[in-house]
Amino acid sequence: MNIGIVFGCFIPMHKGHESLIKTALSENDKVIIAVCGYQNDRGRDFLDFNTRIKLVTKMFEAQKDRVIVVQIDDKKLGLDGTFTHENWVLWGDELFSNAGISPDSATFNWYTGEPSYVEKLSAIYPTHNFKLVDRTIIKTSGTQIRKNPGIHADDINETFREYLAKTGKLL
């Protein structure tokens, strides 16, 4: 079995994230989508952690047989944002535990746009495959969107865009 892994804070989910997820779904039997962060993280005033989890879960309700949505609460794990090897080990243990899957039970394919993530995770999971996406193709970033969501509305995932519009944050 091939299992894809896509992870992010999704503050908000945007076209870059959607591209990773779409690719993972097309290339794997199952996909784990990990929503990362914590309740008072940088998204708290735009899209808090619990809301992001609910929105991603809602997006994939109809695909429960193929998509496993998990949350990784960085504060619960004591992660401090330094991305040390030890922190990545804790983070990875949490991802697989929350998904209910052993990290050596399938062929795993990770999808990311961050070279440093590939470097750190491949040291922990040397038998896994890593697909680094060129971020210059889809230039959207959550930081840009949060600064001016109205201008970047077309780059925001539809479910997230609808929520932001309802809450008055898509200005």
pLDDT tens-digit map of 24-36 = 999 999 999 999 9
pLDDT tens-digit map of 44-83 = 999 999 999 999 999 999 999 999 999 999 999 988 778 8
Q: Classify residue 23: in a domain, yes or no.
A: yes
User: Based on the structure, what is the number of domains in the chain?
Assistant: 1
Q: Is 106 a residue whose pLDDT tops 80? A: yes
CA distance 6 to 67: 11
What is the four-CA torsion angle of 21, 25, 29, 33, rounded to 10 degrees?
20
Instruction: Tell me the residue range of the domain where 50 lies.
Output: 2-166
Q: Classify residue 80: in a domain, yes or no.
A: yes
Question: What single letter denotes the amino acid at residue 165?
Answer: A
Q: Classify residue 171: in a domain, yes or no.
A: no
* Domain containing residue 99: CATH number: 3.40.50.620
Q: Classify residue 61: in a domain, yes or no.
A: yes
pLDDT band at 100 (very low <50, low <70, confident <90, very high): very high
